[in-house]
Structure 1
Amino acid sequence: MPARRDLARRLAAVADFDDPDPEREQYATPPDLAAHLVHRAGLRGDLARPVVDLGTGTGRLAIAAAIAGAPTVLGIEVDADAITIARENERAVLDDAAAPGHVYWLRGDVTVAPVPDRDAWATPPTVIANPPFGAQAGNRHADRAFLDTAGRIGAVSWTIHNAGSRAFVTSFAEDTGGTVTAAYASEIGLDRVFEFHDADTRTIEVELYRIEW
C-alpha cells in the first residue's frame, strides 16, 4: 500500500464534476481526505476484501482503493455524466501505473443498490462512501440511506459524515446490527462551486466512521 501522502498526490489527478448538482450535494471528495480514509482502511486490513464505493461520483475513493491494493472495486453512481468522468479518471490515473485492483462502474441508485446482500458474497465487501450530508431541503437524512445499504451489503464500512454525527451514526449502527469500531475527525476544504456560496473557499469539519456489520 502506498504512503498516504503518495496516494493523495496521485488522487489529485482525478477530475471533479463538470456541472455539479447542488440538490445531490455533488462535492468531490478532496484527495487528502480520500487518501486518509483509504489508508486507514488498508491499515485495518479492510482492503483485502472487495470494495464497493456507494455514490462514487467521479471515482476518487474507488480509484484510491484500487491503488491501495483492493482486489476488485465497484463504484456505483446514479449520475451518468459522473460515471463517464470516473471511467476517464480510471484510464488517466490507473493506466499510467500498475494498480493491483480492478475497477468496475455501475450506474444505479445506491439506496436500492443492485448488488447482492452480504450473505450472498463469497467474501462480503468493504463499503466506502462520502454520502450527501443532507444539507439541502429535499435531501434530508441522505446519509441514512447510504448507511442502510452499507449495512445490508457490507461486512465493514468506512463513511464520511458532517461533524457532530457521532450519536446518530452510533445509534443507527446499533439499531441495525452494527458496531462503530473507529472514528476520526478531519476537514474538507471546499472551493466555491455553486452560486449560493458566499465565500471563495470554506472549511467544513467532518468525521470518518468505521462500522462492522
Structure 2
Amino acid sequence: MGKRALERRLSAVSDFADPQVELEQYPTPADLAAHLVHLADVNHDIAEKTVFDLGTGTGMLALGAATRDPERVVGIDRDAGAIEQARDNERRVGPETPVGWFVGDAMRAPFCPSKSGSRSADSVDSADAAESPAPAPSVTVLMNPPFGAQTGNEHADRAFLETTAGIADVSYSIHNEGSVDFVEAFAEDFDGEVTHAFRAELPLSRRFEFQRRRRKVLDAEVFRIEWR
C-alpha cells in the first residue's frame, strides 16, 4: 500500500469528540501521518518492530503503523475518552496488526520495556542464565506530542522526548516551528542523533472559544532521531 492509499485509509480516523485545551488535543492530519509512517517504513523502522504512539489521541499514528507489519503497536493516552475513540477508529481503519490501547501518562514509562528489550541482571534467574534470552524487537516511537504552549503544560514536548530517549531505538516526532536547536541539543544530551528533519503544516479548525479564526495553519517540524 502506497502513501496516498494509506492517507485515504487514515482519513477514516475521527477527530476528538470533546477536545481538552489543557492537553493540547489537536488532530494529526491524515496526509502528514501517512507521510511520517511511509518515511518510517522505508527506513525499516516499523516492520517487525515494537511501535509506541505516545499521546496517541484518537489513534492516527498508531493505526498508520499497524498497517506496516509491525511486531506490535501500542497507543497510550491519558484521556480515556480519546482511547475509546481510538478503539472505534481501529474498527474503521481495520489495520492488519491489532493495536493495544492503554490509558496512561505517556510522560512516564512504567508501561514500557527497557531499550531494545534488554533485561536487567536481576530478571535472569539461574534456570535461564546458561541460555541467553532471545532479543526483543527494537522499539520505534511515533508521536505528535503537545507543544507545551498551554499554561500548566509547559515543556510537555521535552517530557515526551525524555520518555522516548529511555525506551526507543528510533523515534519520529512532530514539534512546533523553531524547535531544531532544542531537539538537536536534547538528542545530543541523551546520546541520540537527529538524522532527518523537515517542515510540515498542521491545518487546525476552530475548536476552542479563545480561537478567533475558523481555520489556521500551524507551521511545524518533524524529526527522526536515532537513540543509542
TM-score computed with the length of structure 2 as normaliser: 0.88
Tell me by how many angstroms 1:13 deviates. Answer: 0.6
- Structure 1 residue 101 displacement after superposition: 2.0
Cα RMSD for the two superposed structures: 1.1
**How many Å separate the matches in 2 of 1:191 and 1:62?**
22
Residue matched to 1:103? 99
The alignment partner of 2:149 has SS state of coil
How much has 1:72 moved relative to structure 2? 1.2
- 1:36: Cα distance to partner? 1.2
Contact in 2 for aligned 1:77/1:107 (Cα 8 Å): yes
Question: Measured at CA, do residues 3 and 197 of structure 1 come closer, stay the same or move farther in structure 2, by a change above 3 Å?
Answer: same
Q: How does 1:1-213 map to 2 (within 5 A)?
A: 2-48=1-47, 49-94=49-94, 99-113=95-109, 114-121=111-118, 122-213=136-227
The CA distance in 2 between the partners of 1:25 and 1:174, in whole Å, is 27
Hey, what's the Cα distance between the residues in 1 that align with 2:5 and 2:209?
A: 33
* Cα drift, residue 174 of structure 1: 0.3
SS of the equivalent of 1:139 reads: coil
Distance 2:222 2:166 in 1: 19
Query: How far apart, in 2, do the equivalents of 1:155 and 1:119 lie?
Result: 7
Q: Deviations over 1:61-92 (max 9, x none)?
A: 10011123323110011111111110111112
Richer in helix (by share): 1
Write the letter of the residue equivalent to 1:55: G
Is the contact made by 1:54 and 1:77 (CA closer than 8 Å) also made in structure 2? yes
Cα distance in 1 for partners of 2:66, 2:155 equals: 29
Amino acid aligned to 1:189: P
Residues in 2 aligned to 1:179 and 1:65: alpha-carbon distance in whole angstroms: 22
Asked if 2 retains the 8 angstrom alpha-carbon contact of 1:70 and 1:100, the reply is no
Counterpart-to-counterpart distance in 2, 1:81 and 1:187: 26
Rounded Cα–Cα distance in structure 1 between residues aligned with 2:152 and 2:170 = 29
State the TM-score, normalized to the length of structure 1: 0.94
Structure 2 gaps, min length 5 = 119-135
Q: How many residues align?
A: 208
Point out the more displaced range, 117-126 or 188-197.
Answer: 117-126
Following the alignment from structure 1 to structure 2, what is the Cα–Cα distance between the partners of residues 57 and 29?
9
Deviation at residue 32 of structure 1 after TM alignment: 0.8
User: Over residues 171-212 of structure 1, what are the superposed CA-to-partner deviations in whole Å (9 max), with x where a residue is unaligned?
Assistant: 000001111011111101111111111100000111110000
Task: Write out per-residue CA displacement over residues 103-132 of structure 1, whole angstroms, 9 at most, x where no aligned residue.
Answer: 111111011122122143512210010000
For the pair shown, which has the larger CA radius of gyration, 1 or 2?
2
